[in-house]
Homo-oligomer: A and B are copies of this chain.
Amino acid sequence: MEKKPSKTIEVRQSVTLANDRAAGELRDRFAAKGVWVLNLISSPGAGKTALIEKTVENLRDEFSILVIEGDPHTSLDSDRINRMGARALQINTLGGCHLDAAMIGHALLNIDLEKVAAVFIENVGNLLCPAAWDLGQDATCVLAGLTEGPDKPLKYPETFSLADVLVINKTDLAPYLPGASAMLLPNALKINPGLTVFETSCIDGSGLLSWYDWVKDMMEKKQGGRARA
């Protein structure tokens, strides 16, 4: 439906191709150091920062996790992560609606990845635009708050279909939501049957142990890949 001059589309395609090249270079750099990289995408306020806080708190004694926080404005999220004892780098897009590979490369300029087990990238809160921009990640995680309603996977299939992992968060609120909320998971699996699924609450902690185990497993496999390389 969106009508724009064809010139815009050509420029956009070349920008996306340039991003793909930059993301490929990042991916090679992460692979060489055995660093596992997760790109977290969701609507604003689905709980990405809360999930990263909990994960860092639980795993920080065993693994060095670096967090990159993407927001249009403020350093509120990186401040939260720093308080949990992990290093966080803030990217402010100044109104931009997604992160791109050049921003990630710039944020990592002076970072020694040798000592890093994983990079968690919290994308800008936006269920649509970040999907098209590869950041060199190993896995893409879409978070969906149970409070957002069950129809989001059907309306935003671009993001749900490219994700590897779905975290359904805020399950502590399930008793107070309309019954239809339970359709979120079936709707997501209709769009992407291959999703690895976690149902979590960062308030009461339910489901988080399985999530930590999965993250640990991913980090160990990536580090093992480097050892064998």
Contacts and interface: CB of A to CB of B under 8 A. Distances in A.
Contact of A3 (B12, B45, B102, B172): B102
A73 B151 CA distance: 11
A128 B124 CA distance: 10
A195 B75 CA distance: 25
Contacts of A93: 1-2
Interface in A1-37: 1-5, 7-8, 11-12, 14-15
Interface residues of A, number: 53
Contact of A154 (B73, B100, B127): B73
B127 A126 contact: yes
Contact of A11 (B7, B102, B103): B7
Interface in A167-222: 170, 172-173, 176, 178, 203
A164 B93 CA distance: 25
Interface string A129-171: 1000000000000000101110110111110000000000010
A166 B124 CA distance: 22
A19 B149 CA distance: 32
A-B pairs with lowest CB-CB distance, top 9: A45-B148, A2-B96, A147-B147, A43-B44, A45-B149, A43-B43, A97-B128, A8-B11, A44-B127
Interface of A: 1-5, 7-8, 11-12, 14-15, 43-45, 71-74, 76, 91-97, 100, 102-103, 106, 124-129, 145, 147-149, 151-152, 154-158, 170, 172-173, 176, 178, 203
